[in-house]
Structure 1
């Protein structure tokens, strides 16, 4: 099982993850899609990746703004699972033209 990361470990990891912020409790990133349907396509793509990893973000959709929040709830904070998911989300954001 993944180990809980300290605030310092999370801060160090976030330095290399564009757009993400947070602490040892959770990390988040908000992106803007070109349109509402484009945002939903991004959410759908993230859902597919999350299912394959068996690790799921909290997702908040507000028209063309989508916020992804990652935390390992069973551990009570951020683990390497969350950082890996954040990297995968960044790949999808870039591939799908969100910003």
Structure 2
């Protein structure tokens, strides 16, 4: 995943990866709008092992998703933005593009 891209392009790539490969599958798996840091770490380790990538890439992506407002953090609990809850209820695919679009709608 390490590439010759600029800082912003790799940050977006990290966010996309973390959202589509770790967080959204985790949300659908546990069928809840919130997850703990431990749940995230367990899922992250599983995905990193399967794809043979460094654990540091998804770590940066998590913080980045919080900055973008897709995830909200309170202590060790993370939750998805309220506009993404209908996707979870429908067990729909919610890619990063959809997530960022929903969160940005006023």
- Whether the TM-score (by the shorter chain) exceeds 0.5 is no
Higher helix share: 2
TM-score by length of 1: 0.31
TM-score by length of 2: 0.29
Higher strand share: 1
